Amino acid sequence: LLVPMQQLVSWGAAGAMVFGGVVPYIPQYRDIRRTQNAEGFSTYVCLVLLVANILRILFWFGRRFESPLLWQSIIMIITMLLMLKLCTEVRVSNELNIKRRSFAAADSKDEEIKAPPKRSYLDFDLNYFWHWSKFTDYLQCVLTFTGVTGYITYLWLDSSLFVETLGFLAVFTEAMLGVPQLYRNYQNRSTEGMSIKMVLMWTSGDTFKTVYFILNQAPFQFSICGLLQVFVDIAILLQVYLYSYYPQKPVSHTAHPASTKAL
């Protein structure tokens, strides 16, 4: 009886690893759809998770780790693309006089979406990176990053130093997941619009994940960066307490044209 119970617990833990990372974004996704307001959620969270999980998948080709961690990355990439699609649609529908910003294009002059300019990859504007007007631009950026990093990984796959560095970059990037949200809250001097349920789930999920890494003897990079991720989650929860009980006036700062809501 003990052996089947151990297998059941093992399957449950694996299932929690695969889908547990997605759960925190369900209340945030529902809040954005219900309110049609994406101001409180930083889309840079999506960028961080997309980069981290793409690198983690590439790391798997150099050093095979547990399958649940691989499937977790695949599910998370799909989830972040869905979050980006919703946030982009909501932001575009709420803003007036939207200027066309894209990953692949943009005339030096800001053109309205109604009359998009001719596209040229040479016209990429770094000032508006990750503040584009269509979901397809984000998708093109993700595919480009995947192609370039995948090719580099293919060339250096035999180098253990490169593989270990790739693994560290993957988990360290994921450990920085909460930093964009932490900075946005600091800028706004408020956590309004951010789903507190999401952060609580982040904290519990990251704690479970770190313990899972340690018990299953995952590569050491996973355990170290997991602990760092838990500390960042706790810092965001402290912001929730601080700004709820001690409201502060927003810091005045120069607004970035056409991107005030996108950070």
Shortest CA distance to 167 belongs to which of 216, 220, 207?
Answer: 220
Residue 110 clears pLDDT 70, i.e. is over it: no
Residue with the bigger pLDDT between 148 and 218: it is: 148
| C-alpha span between 239 and 236 (Å, rounded) | 5
Question: Which residue segment(s) compose the domain that 156 sits in?
Answer: 1-98+129-245
| Structural domain includes residue 119 | no
* pLDDT at residue 133, as a whole number: 82
Pick the range with the lowest mean pLDDT from 42-56, 156-170, 218-232: 218-232
- The DSSP 8-state label assigned to residue 225 in this structure reads H
Of 36-50, 110-124, 201-215, the range with the highest mean pLDDT is 36-50
pLDDT score recorded for residue 51: 94
Classify residue 123: in a domain, yes or no.
Answer: no
More confident residue, 139 or 100: 139
* pLDDT at 254 exceeding the cut of 50: no
54-58, 66-70, 114-118, 195-199: range with lowest mean pLDDT: 114-118
| Orientation of helix 220-245 relative to helix 179-188, angle to 10° | 20
- State how many domains the chain has: 1
Task: Indicate the pLDDT class of residue 112, thresholds 50, 70 and 90.
Answer: very low
Residue 5 corresponds to which tokens in the numbers above? 């119970």
Question: How far apart are the C-alpha atoms of 243 and 248, rounded to whole Å?
Answer: 7
42 falls within a domain: yes
The answer as to whether 185 is a domain residue is yes
Check whether 108 has a pLDDT greater than 60.
no
111 φ, ψ to 5°?
-105, 150
Cα–Cα distance measured from residue 243 to residue 232, given in angstroms and rounded to the nearest whole number: 17
Most confident of 21-25, 73-77, 116-120: 73-77
Q: 88-92, 94-98, 191-195, 200-204: which has the highest mean pLDDT?
A: 88-92
Its pTM stands at 0.70
The pLDDT of residue 105: 56
195 in a domain, yes or no?
A: yes
Tell me, what's the pLDDT at 155? 94
Residue 254 domain-assigned (yes or no): no
Q: Look at residue 227 and tell me if it is in a domain.
A: yes
Q: Is residue 73 part of a domain?
A: yes
- Weakest mean pLDDT among 41-45, 53-57, 101-105, 178-182: 101-105
Instruction: Give the model confidence (pLDDT) of 141-190 as tens digits.
Output: 999 999 999 999 999 999 989 998 998 888 888 888 788 778 888 888 88
The enclosing H or E element of 73 equals helix 67-94
